Amino acid sequence: MSQGFDYDLVIIGAGVGGHGAALHAVSCGLKTAIIEAADMGGTCVNRGCIPSKALLAASGRVRELRNAHHLKSLGIQIGSVEFDRQAIANHANNLVSKIQGDLTNSLKRLKVDIINGWGKIAGAQKVSVTGDGGEKTITAKDIILSPGSIPFVPPGIEVDGKTVFTSDQGVKLESLPDWVAIIGSGYIGLEFSDIYSALGCEITLIEALDQLMPGFDRDIAKLAERVLITPRDIETKVGIYAKKVIPGSPVVIELADFKTKEDVDVIEVDACLVATGRIPATKNLGLESVGVELDRRNFIPVDDRMAVLSSGEVVPHLWAIGDANGKMMLAHAASAQGIIAVENIVGRERIVDYRSIPAAAFTHPEVSYVGLTETAAKELGQTEGFEIATSRSYYKGNSKALAENEADGIAKVIYRKDTGEVLGVHIFGLHASDLIHEASAAIANRQSVQSLAHLVHAHPTLSEVLDEAYKRAI
């Protein structure tokens, strides 16, 4: 126990990042408290990863069972498939409650003090907590900030939570509108288009940038568009942005050209999901009391060790993890950062290897990737003086995919020509989110395609898609 302090470590925010940090802190012998003003588990458990995966699982089954052509090819015939919207919503809600309870119990079991209220910094190594019982101040040798993020709503869009809403409300699945506009074609937009289209809604997907699925590797995005969007009841508007969205029945959306800002069209839909990304929840954290300013996008500046910076200098005993520092806005990245912060608190120097952290969209089929896109790899090569190469393999050549009759898919490997080091791997297809971890480990260990091509994979498995891509590289 640190002399003269209430705790060795106080964590503000009990999302996945704060939870991971607390568990690791206890294992390192630190007396720990975690402060949460809202729901234990943060965005991921309550409004993000967990409920959305439950909805995707249920709606995915509906899509599968209604795909008579696919089932017939396997020799299966089935009658009409019915579903209960409320029961699907309950499945998601029940899962949230279970995981929230598991998370809370794991902290209690390890004797982490859970403090309900709004936590903010009240000076060096001090935190004030405002809750039902008023305000109190606690001291800690170290403080980790893990306040998370909230949905970003662009100017001109009015959210009423019913007819115009963000993913926070969308995961509750309170209705299935006949016609839904989805603004944004990133992870959130793609996953909700998958859910809604499977459950019979018509969709208009509106993307301000000049191509769908910005941020994804272009080869992957092209095939994903052909499978996830084109054959489904989804119309797309690309290079178009929602200038104004007015809630009501109907929802009125004024569309304009993203480059010229000229008005293009007005559409009326039954509902509108705003899936335009997330912004850090960094207001009212008391950072000014220790001389810390947010950056221009309102993220908390940190170094590679997760230490908070003020004018480029480390603020002693203050750390920030997760969405609030903007390094990589993913739940598992937050958890990794929490562990890294604790490692540095106890004097073991560590940094996060962001290139080896994978990401996935849980559509049907899935999209996953780790490392660099081809464009980013080329830019790195130009800077550091090396050439890159790529290899591809396809699900249609994979025995297991053919046995499942799920042959839409591709694996793409990006590597250095000189050393063979793998720089990025991108997969679209059945179980892509599970397959990516082999590539993640390879990138973490800076392995070459030459060494990976000699690994032995079980046959017949989907993992041979990666095996084939490595072998093609050499």
Q: Which residues are catalytic?
A: 459
Has 185 been labeled as part of a binding site?
A: yes
For residue 410, with 0-12 CB atoms within 10 Å meaning exposed, 13-18 middle and 19 or more buried, which class applies?
buried
Has 186 been labeled as part of a binding site?
A: yes
Has 323 been labeled as part of a binding site?
A: yes
User: Concatenated DSSP letters for 319-356?
Assistant: EE-GGGG-S---HHHHHHHHHHHHHHHTT------GGG
Has 53 been labeled as part of a binding site?
A: yes
Hey, is 29 helix, strand or coil? coil
Has 18 been labeled as part of a binding site?
A: no
Has 189 been labeled as part of a binding site?
A: yes
Tokens of 209: 């940038």
Please state, in angstroms and as integers, the Cα–Cα distance from residue 145 to each residue in 69, 148, 279, following that order: 51, 9, 15
Give the helix ranges, DSSP H, for 28-115.
Answer: 42-47, 49-66, 68-73, 85-109
Q: Is the dihedral of CA 259, 261, 264, 270 positive or negative?
A: positive
Has 74 been labeled as part of a binding site?
A: no
Has 188 been labeled as part of a binding site?
A: yes
Has 332 been labeled as part of a binding site?
A: yes
Name, in order, each residue with C-beta under 8 angstroms of 386's C-beta and a sequence gap of 6 or more. 416, 417, 418, 419
What percentage of the chain's residues is helix, strand, coil (to nearest 5)? 35, 30, 35
The Cα angle at residue 180 between residues 176 and 184, in degrees rounded to 5: 125
Peptide linkage before 460 cis (omega within 30 of 0): yes
Cα distance between residue 234 and residue 182, in whole Å: 10
Has 239 been labeled as part of a binding site?
A: no
Has 150 been labeled as part of a binding site?
A: no
Cα distance between residue 203 and residue 180, in whole Å: 5
| 8 A C-beta contact, residue 414 and residue 377 | yes
Strand partners, 267: 253
Residue 273: in which H helix or E strand, if any?
strand 271-274
| 8 A C-beta contact, residue 276 and residue 209 | no
Cα distance between residue 170 and residue 181, in whole Å: 12
Has 187 been labeled as part of a binding site?
A: yes
Has 140 been labeled as part of a binding site?
A: no
Question: Crossing angle, helix 16-27 and helix 331-345, to 10 degrees?
Answer: 30
Please state, in angstroms and as integers, the Cα–Cα distance from residue 169 to each residue in 56, 406, 439, following that order: 15, 32, 34
Cα distance between residue 91 and residue 88, in whole Å: 5
Has 207 been labeled as part of a binding site?
A: yes
Has 331 been labeled as part of a binding site?
A: yes
- The residue among 222, 239, 240 whose CA lies nearest residue 230 is 222
What residues are designated binding site?
A: 53, 119, 184-191, 207, 277, 323, 329-332
What residues are designated binding site for FAD?
A: 53, 119, 323, 329-332
What residues are designated binding site for NAD(+)?
A: 184-191, 207, 277
